[in-house]
Amino acid sequence: MNSPLDDGNSGSNLLRKVHHQRSALEVRDLRMVFRVAEIEIHALKGVDLLVRAGEFVAIMGPSGCGKSTLLHILGGLLQPTSGEVYVDGVDIARISDSERTEIRRRKIGFVFQRFNLLPTLTARDNLRLAREIRNGRQPQDIEGIVSLVGLNEKLRHKPYELSGGEQQRLGIARAIINHPAILLADEPTGNLDSTNSEMVLTLLKTLNEQYKQTTIMITHDPDAASYASRIVEMKDGRILNRVQNVIYAMGTGTVF
């Protein structure tokens, strides 16, 4: 019997397992300067980061430390002032806007703090639209993903008919529907209560552990960060030398 994550035609997993040894993302000497009138704001000051395929990395730091700017650059939404940004082997800092758009479309999934669902579409149609942007695949893909995120009974509902936690799980389903090389999550629990936060974080952890989905999550919350396998701390536009590995057990994260 096929699992809920099997493609009904090929039998392959919807989320393809990848080798940990391969680099999914690498950043070298990344710098970002914003100019406001005659003032220069140095948001990133020489960031270096390596994320292996299959890792779940939390980037943690206070507001204004540069973590959101970093995430936007990793996702191809901002072009850095200087530095190299390799996404699945391609330096997106050195390609055209149209090429960056294609990389986003094919290789990157986004999970937003405010969900960013289309309010006039049902849950099913939000997923169908995301699939069509990627040139489409079989309907079984949608059914399998929906089963994974636990929204089987909600496909005909519009976003305003869903709870915050359900909307974020739909947002995750939309982000992974196209098998991205990298999943980027920007404060995914920022608008959720503790119960829904735990459900969303557990889902992200399941995607990573069972299906080897490479995930980078931005957060200021140590409890959320504890779900990741590695925590990278940022301060004042730089990544600190202290990088923590996380052991997660019995519902709480212990950092060593």
pTM across the whole model: 0.83
Predicted confidence at residue 179, as pLDDT, reads 87
Please provide the distance, in angstroms rounded to a whole number, between the alpha carbons at the two ends of the chain.
40
pLDDT tens string 44-86: 999 999 999 999 999 999 999 999 999 999 999 999 999 999 9
Answer whether 15's CB lies under 8 Å from 213's CB.
yes
- Would you state the structure tokens that stand for residue 164, as one six-digit string? 């915050």
Predicted confidence at residue 233, as pLDDT, reads 95
CA distance 1 to 70: 42
Answer whether 54's CB lies under 8 Å from 208's CB.
yes
CA distance 1 to 72: 41
Report all structural domains of the chain as residue ranges with CATH numbers, in order of start: 23-118+179-255 (3.40.50.300)
Predicted confidence at residue 17, as pLDDT, reads 39
Starting from the edge strand earliest in sequence, which strands make up the sheet with 90-91, in order? 39-52, 23-36, 82-87, 90-91
- Would you state the structure tokens that stand for residue 72, as one six-digit string? 């936007």
Residues of the chain below pLDDT 70:
1-22, 135-141, 242-256
Predicted confidence at residue 131, as pLDDT, reads 86
